Amino acid sequence: MKMAILGTGDVGKTLGSALIQQGHAVMMGSRTADNESAVGWAAERGERASQGTFADAAASAEVILNCSAGMHSLSILAGIDPADLSGKVLIDVANPLDFSNGFPPRLSICNDDSLGEQIQRAHPDARVVKAFNTMANPIMTAPNKLAGEHQLLVCGNDSDAKAVVKEIALSFGWQENQWFDLGGIEQARGTEMYLALWVRLYGKLQTPMFNIAVTRE
Amino acid sequence: MKMAILGTGDVGKTLGSALIQQGHAVMMGSRTADNESAVGWAAERGERASQGTFADAAASAEVILNCSAGMHSLSILAGIDPADLSGKVLIDVANPLDFSNGFPPRLSICNDDSLGEQIQRAHPDARVVKAFNTMANPIMTAPNKLAGEHQLLVCGNDSDAKAVVKEIALSFGWQENQWFDLGGIEQARGTEMYLALWVRLYGKLQTPMFNIAVTRE
C-alpha cells in the first residue's frame, strides 16, 4: 500500500522503515520538501521510499501515520487539504507531551479530551485509529524484543480502519492475542494519560524498552 | 501494629479485614462514630476490630490507610489533629476520581499535581506512601488471584515508611519482585493518571480483576 509518515523523528523513521521492509511505498512528510532528515532516510531506504511536504505525503497515501510531536499534530494536519485525508486511515501515534518545563513532560491535552479525539473532530472524514502511542518506537515494529506478555492498545471509531492497522501490526510481528481494542476514539484519553505513568516508568527503568501487559485471573 | 482505616467502603473493608487477619488491630474511621457500615464490619471481625470517627481512628494508630473517596480525602484529613498524623505512615490508597458526570470518571486532580502530593503538602509531618491505588481491592490483599505477572506501584518520600508498606504488602502475598518503587511522592501523578486507562480497561473487560505488568527485554 501507499503510506505517508508525517514527521521525521525516530518514531516516523522506525515505522517508515518497517513499512518499507513489508513492501509498502512510504513517503515521509515534513514542513518543507528536502528536509535533510527525510532526504537522508529516503536515500537509505531505496526506491519505495520518498519524501516531500506533509501535504505531498498525505496526498500520495492510502494510509497516513501521524508521527509528529503531539504538540504540533493539529496544526500539521490543518495544513493538509481535507480531501487528502477524507476516507483515509489515519494512524495517530502521537502523544500530547509538553516538554517546555523539562522531564517528565505534562500533557497539553488530557482528562476531558485527548489528541486522538481532537484529530478525529477536526477531520471527521478521516478514519482515525489511535495506536502504537503507548510504547517506544523500537517496540512498535519489533514486539518480540520484549521477553514477556504485553499488548498493543488501540482505539478508533471505524472497525475497517482498525482492521487495516491490525494487519500492519501483525506484519510487524504482533500476535492476535496482543491486539487490545479499547473501543471508540474517546478511549484515547486512557491511552494518552497512561503516558504520565510511562514517562515515570522510563525515568525509573532508565530504558524505554518496556511495555505493559494487562494481567487477568 | 495499630492501624487506622479512613473510609468504610469496599477498599477500606478489604484492607481492614486483611490487616486483622495478619494480627493487627484496626480501627475503621468514618465521619460519625457508630457509622452503620463500620459498626457492622467491626462486629464481624472480632476483638481486634473497632470503629470510631476519622479523628479517633487516626489518634489510635501507628499506620493510617486513606481509603476514602479521593474527592473527600483532603477534607477528611484536614479534620484530623495534625499531631495525630505527625510522624505516622499514611498509606494513600485513594484516587481523585470524579464521577459527577458518570462513567468513566474524570480526575479532579491531574497533570500538574496529584492527590498524593496534595496530601503530603497539606500534612508535611505525615509520611505519605501512595500504594495499592492502581488495582481493584480484591487484588490489593490477594495478588495471587491473578494468573500472570503484575506489580504493585508505590511512591513516597520516606524510605522507612515505604519499608513498612512493603512489609504489609508481603504479608498479603505480594512477592519481592512485584514491588515497584517509582520514587518520591511526585510520582503519584503517574500512578493516579494511569487510572484514566484503568477505568477504560475495566469498562472493556467488564471485570476489575486485572492489573498491569511492566514487561521488559
Residues in chain A within 8 Å Cβ distance of B111: 106-107, 110-111, 196
Average of per-residue pLDDT across A115-144: 98
Render pLDDT for A168-202 as a digit per residue (tens, 0 to 9). Answer: 999 999 999 999 999 999 999 999 999 999 999 99
> What b/e string do you get for A144-163 counting C-beta neighbours within 10 Å, with b at 16 or more?
eebeebbbbbbbbbbeebbe
Split at pLDDT 50, 70, 90, the class of B203 is very high
Q: What is the predicted pLDDT for the residue at B45? A: 97
Average of per-residue pLDDT across B144-172: 98
B193 shares contact with chain A (CB less than 8 Å): yes
A202's grid cell: 522510563
Q: Is A110 helix (H, G, I), strand (E, B) or coil?
A: coil
Average of per-residue pLDDT across A47-64: 98
Q: What is the predicted pLDDT for the residue at A182? A: 98
Q: Which of B60, B115, B58 is nearest to B82 (CA)?
A: B58
Average of per-residue pLDDT across B165-170: 98
* Residues B107, B96 contacting (CB under 8 angstroms): yes
Nearest residue on chain B to A108, judged by CA atoms? B111
Q: Is A114 helix (H, G, I), strand (E, B) or coil?
A: coil
pTM, 2 dp: 0.98
DSSP category for residue A120: H
Q: What is the predicted pLDDT for the residue at B60? A: 94
Nearest residue on chain B to A151, judged by CA atoms? B215
* Residues B92, B54 contacting (CB under 8 angstroms): no
Split at pLDDT 50, 70, 90, the class of A167 is very high
Cα angle at B59 between B56 and B61, to 5 degrees? 110
DSSP category for residue B168: H
Render pLDDT for A9-34 as a digit per residue (tens, 0 to 9). Answer: 999 999 999 999 999 999 999 999 99
A42's grid cell: 529516503
Q: Chain B window 149-188: which residues touch A at a Cβ cutoff of 8 Å?
A: 149-150, 153, 180, 182-183, 187
Q: Which of B100, B99, B157 is nearest to B128 (CA)?
A: B157
Question: Is B191–A212 a contact, with Cβ atoms under 8 angstroms apart?
Answer: no
Q: Is A212 helix (H, G, I), strand (E, B) or coil?
A: strand
Q: Chain B window 39-58: which residues touch A at a Cβ cutoff of 8 Å?
A: none
pLDDT > 90 fraction of chain B, expressed in percent and rounded: 100
Render pLDDT for B67-77 as a digit per residue (tens, 0 to 9). Answer: 999 999 999 99
Average of per-residue pLDDT across B84-105: 98
* Residues A201, B182 contacting (CB under 8 angstroms): yes
Q: Phi first, then psi: give them for residue A180, nearest 5 degrees.
A: -125, 100
